[in-house]
Structure 1
Amino acid sequence: MKNFNATKYKLRNVATNRLFDDEGWTLDDCQCEAPALIRAVYETKRLDPKGEEHGIYRFADWLPVNRTLEGSCAPVTYKSRALAERLGLKHLYITFNGYYPEIGARMKTCSFKETEAYSVCGRLNGSHKGKVLVVASAGNTARAFAKVCSDNGIPLLLSVPEDNIDALWFDAPLADCVKLICPQKGADYFDAIHLSNLALACEKFFAEGGAKNVARRDGMATTVLSAVTHIGRIPDYYFQAVGSGTGAIAAWEANLRLIEDGRFGSHKMKLMVSQNAPFTPMYDAWKVRSRDMLPYADDQARADAEAIDAKVLSNRKPPYGIRGGLFDALTDTDGDVLVATNEEARQAKELFAELEGVDIYSAPAVALATLIRSVEAGRIAPEKTVMLNITGGGEKRFKSGKDLHYLRPSVVFPIDPDPAEVMKKVEALFA
């Protein structure tokens, strides 16, 4: 898009409140010894969304971006009728991230991870020219970054567990600037992160940063911006399934900015986040109000990650206890961590397709399952305003009649690879 002026903002350390400039790709406060997230503080305090033709950049006032990229689509919020009636909720709003043209949703990777990719890649300002962006993913994030980087000629190295690479489907072949490496079958998302960290020992590569990247969080926060600008107020409850919890942290941060805006209410929506049993490390820690994650043996964690339908929810090292992380978000909003089984999520998925007319992924089905249970338990009064973040859907609709292309790994490494071998092989991929 033409004539875009970079968004003006500074960065603030959540723990110390220190305000400082972004040096281009700042992920941490170098003057703070204790781990803490940093947060973007925007010059514009009053949100003024642009037209829908701007895609996700309609919310550029609150995105830390230096440029815009073509092809993005913002989340779409609508008021539910059929599902709301079934649940007995008068004000249930669905924020849909995926492919559902009937409501204006056209995310071609069918996941809200597109909001991250377009924001993160929009943050790039040329200071990393000649270097390769590195992203570790359980699947959907990789698909989103692969598409955005391929479409815009941005060199990208992905690290995804070999068991999850069927998630890397596309409606067109990818450009050669995108490469994939994998830890072998039996590995999980944490193993993919470890492999990506070994690659980052090479000077040629730089880390996307995950939850530490303000662009990732504020890109995900557009789900809440979509909902609030549509509803006209901050919701009372926010439901989302979480793997890392980054999306829920982003929702909390957006809520705080909206309170500062002043037009949408002064309350904090309760964050109701969910995990897919038996993989429940954040649920287990929260239930005993522990800021620290509880012990979780590697072999058991891998087995539990393999057992769940929603593989994208299997992060063993989430930004839970870090200052400004999910523990703080839940505490500040009087939120909760919930859990749903595979069977409950499958039933919720069928119910959503029946009542709302589109397929959804297992992760948002987990969120819906916990919403259903919360309503049945009387935890949510019928008149409360509820936002359900459907983080991915419409894949069946998007794939229908298309010839698909899959990204295959350039190298598959052992679960515990030799660091020198990783460095040698990944450098050769971009020689």
Structure 2
Amino acid sequence: MMKGFSPTKYILKSFKSGKEFKDEGWTLDAPGEMEPSLIRAIYDKKQIDVKDDSWGLYKFADWLPIGRVLEGSSAPVTYKSEGLAKELGLENLWITFSGYWPEKGTNMSTCSFKETEAYSVCGRMTPEMDKVLVVASAGNTSRAFAKVCSENNIPLLICVPEDNIGALWFEEPINDCVKLICSKSGSDYFDAIHLSNIVAGMEGFVAEGGAKNVARRDGMATTTLSAVTTIGRIPDYYFQAIGSGTGAIAAWEANLRLIEDGRFGSNKMKLMISQNLPFKPIHDAWKADSRHMLPLDDDLARKQVEEIIAKVLSNRKPPYPIAGGLYDALKDAGGDVLLASNEHAHDAARMFLELEGNDIHPASAIATATLIDAAKSGLVKKDDLIMLNITGGGEEKFKTENELFYLKPEIVFDINPGEDEVIERVAKLF
């Protein structure tokens, strides 16, 4: 435990009803409410006191719903762009980078901002919980949770589509407390979620909770906290590629806390979020001004997901309609859902590497591509204060510098396996 750390003081609040209640340790929903709603952490400290870099991610502990700090974390880093900014004619472009870039001061060895979620969620888990954590993901999230749980001896079951297991690489062999199951080749993230839902209902297992987990959202919100506390004020625009949109919801929530803090301005940054063509369900719902996701054929969705370069942006059931979710965030903060093709993403990644000096993940390249378009079309002006959230990068750099170890699945299930089969086979793993 870090010297000087004491558990963060906070209560929880339903977005829908405004009702406040105590965190019972792993509360994911407002007690007694019938209509689905995200809940929020309301922190005792209204002005954030950012600790020094030796705390890693936990330098933002005032606004993380945690009872303990874990070893090995790294915080996102924010710096003022020179190369890309000059190329695009932007005078106030700031890049928040989560990934591996020791020269800039960030050492996320999974090279993804999903580490911010994992260290926060696992910091919310107390040893007394004594359950196996269940996480479903398209790759990056599972890699981050596997690293954190392996290093801190936390039992974990991850569910990933078989086609994505190449994403489960690590700098050292993974501890036995972490197990992987898959939905077979041809399946997608939605199929992995189906598996995880069955397992999470079993005795001795607990769902991580995704967007409903305040620790996940407030962990991701550290990207915005990094930007605002570095720059000194809230940006005008926030650019990020989205799968579920949870990161954008987190940015909006952090923005509201920062307004309440009183030292960084009172504006809401416009959420300029992006999807990878041809997979664009959030874009289509937003453009139709629909709170609900539009119907999407399962087979067509799987086909579109096969085509996109940024596989992590492939969530078919995002927290968009739910009260306090992405639809509400966009309505309140303003902004838009933008699109970029694989080809645009390739060009943007190459440009980032040349002008900024590091490789970036395909999802980050989608965000960068939409920023390039926005600058060229005049959607953003040259003196606008812009935050570009690079949610993953430095992977090629990391892989050239380190030996890699891969996690192999314990079980590969058919698409839509029977509940009894899943329960029987998973029960034997732990």
TM-score interval w.r.t. the shorter chain?
A: over 0.9
Map 1:166-177 onto structure 2 (within 5 A).
Answer: 166-177=166-177
Aligned residue for 2:147?
Answer: 147
Aligned partners of 2:420, 2:5: CA distance in 1, in Å? Answer: 43
**Does residue 1:228 correspond to 2:228, yes or no?**
yes
Aligned 8 A contact 1:77 1:226 in 2: yes
- Structure 2 counterpart SS, 1:160: strand
Aligned partners of 1:163, 1:382: CA distance in 2, in Å? Answer: 42
Aligned partners of 2:395, 2:370: CA distance in 1, in Å? Answer: 22
Aligned residue for 2:110?
Answer: 109
1:156-182 superposed Cα distances (whole Å, 9 cap, x missing partner): 000000000000000100000000000
Q: Name the TM-score, length of structure 1 as normaliser.
A: 0.99
Aligned 8 A contact 1:24 1:127 in 2: no
1:376-425 superposed Cα distances (whole Å, 9 cap, x missing partner): 11111110100000000001111114221000100000011011010011
Map 1:166-205 onto structure 2 (within 5 A).
Answer: 166-205=166-205
Structure 1 unpaired stretches of 5+: none
Map 1:216-255 onto structure 2 (within 5 A).
Answer: 216-255=216-255
Aligned residue for 2:43?
Answer: 42
Deviation of the 1:3 alpha carbon: 4.1
Aligned 8 A contact 1:201 1:423 in 2: no
Aligned partners of 2:272, 2:27: CA distance in 1, in Å? Answer: 30
Aligned residue for 1:354?
Answer: 354
Aligned residue for 2:384?
Answer: 384
Aligned residue for 1:426?
Answer: 426
- Structure 2 counterpart SS, 1:400: helix
Q: Name the TM-score, length of structure 2 as normaliser.
A: 0.99
Map 1:210-359 onto structure 2 (within 5 A).
Answer: 210-359=210-359
Deviation of the 1:222 alpha carbon: 0.2
Deviation of the 1:201 alpha carbon: 2.4
Deviation of the 1:188 alpha carbon: 0.4
The amino acid across from 1:386 in the alignment is I
Aligned 8 A contact 1:187 1:302 in 2: yes
- Runs (4 or more) in structure 1 with deviation over 6 Å come to none
Aligned 8 A contact 1:204 1:427 in 2: no
Aligned 8 A contact 1:139 1:312 in 2: yes
- Structure 2 counterpart SS, 1:47: coil
Aligned residue for 1:16?
Answer: 17
Structure 2 unpaired stretches of 5+: none
Deviation of the 1:2 alpha carbon: 3.3
Aligned residue for 1:85?
Answer: 86
The amino acid across from 1:37 in the alignment is L
The amino acid across from 2:391 in the alignment is T
Aligned partners of 1:250, 1:359: CA distance in 2, in Å? Answer: 25
1:310-350 superposed Cα distances (whole Å, 9 cap, x missing partner): 00000000000100000000010111100100000110000
Aligned partners of 1:183, 1:16: CA distance in 2, in Å? Answer: 37
Aligned partners of 1:74, 1:201: CA distance in 2, in Å? Answer: 33
**Does residue 1:158 correspond to 2:152, yes or no?**
no
Deviation of the 1:127 alpha carbon: 3.6
The amino acid across from 2:27 in the alignment is T
1:136-195 superposed Cα distances (whole Å, 9 cap, x missing partner): 000000000000000000000000000000000001000000000000000000000001
**Does residue 1:137 correspond to 2:129, yes or no?**
no
Number of residues of Structure 1 aligned to a counterpart in Structure 2: 429
Aligned partners of 2:154, 2:128: CA distance in 1, in Å? Answer: 13
1:191-249 superposed Cα distances (whole Å, 9 cap, x missing partner): 00001111122112100000000000000000000000000000000000000000000
1:269-321 superposed Cα distances (whole Å, 9 cap, x missing partner): 00000000111000000001100000000000100011000000000000001
- Structure 2 counterpart SS, 1:16: coil
Aligned partners of 1:199, 1:2: CA distance in 2, in Å? Answer: 37
- Structure 2 counterpart SS, 1:292: coil
Aligned partners of 2:201, 2:423: CA distance in 1, in Å? Answer: 7
The amino acid across from 1:413 in the alignment is F
Aligned partners of 2:101, 2:273: CA distance in 1, in Å? Answer: 24
Aligned partners of 2:48, 2:274: CA distance in 1, in Å? Answer: 29
Aligned partners of 1:136, 1:267: CA distance in 2, in Å? Answer: 35
- Structure 1 counterpart SS, 2:428: helix
Aligned partners of 2:375, 2:403: CA distance in 1, in Å? Answer: 41
Aligned partners of 1:361, 1:77: CA distance in 2, in Å? Answer: 17
Aligned partners of 1:78, 1:105: CA distance in 2, in Å? Answer: 12
Aligned partners of 2:121, 2:327: CA distance in 1, in Å? Answer: 24
The amino acid across from 1:18 in the alignment is K
Taking only aligned residues, the RMSD between alpha carbons, in angstroms, comes to: 0.7
Aligned partners of 1:232, 1:3: CA distance in 2, in Å? Answer: 26
Aligned partners of 1:365, 1:323: CA distance in 2, in Å? Answer: 30
The amino acid across from 2:278 in the alignment is P
Aligned partners of 2:106, 2:200: CA distance in 1, in Å? Answer: 35
Aligned partners of 2:288, 2:402: CA distance in 1, in Å? Answer: 48
Aligned partners of 1:3, 1:270: CA distance in 2, in Å? Answer: 36
Aligned residue for 2:411?
Answer: 411
Greater CA deviation, 144-153 or 26-35?
26-35
Aligned 8 A contact 1:278 1:308 in 2: yes
Aligned partners of 2:176, 2:300: CA distance in 1, in Å? Answer: 37
Aligned 8 A contact 1:77 1:230 in 2: yes
Aligned partners of 2:328, 2:278: CA distance in 1, in Å? Answer: 24
The amino acid across from 1:352 in the alignment is F
Identical aligned residues as a percent: 65
Aligned partners of 1:3, 1:419: CA distance in 2, in Å? Answer: 46
- Structure 2 counterpart SS, 1:301: helix
Aligned partners of 1:238, 1:200: CA distance in 2, in Å? Answer: 34
Aligned partners of 1:23, 1:2: CA distance in 2, in Å? Answer: 26
Aligned partners of 1:101, 1:81: CA distance in 2, in Å? Answer: 19
Deviation of the 1:126 alpha carbon: 2.9
- Structure 2 counterpart SS, 1:186: coil
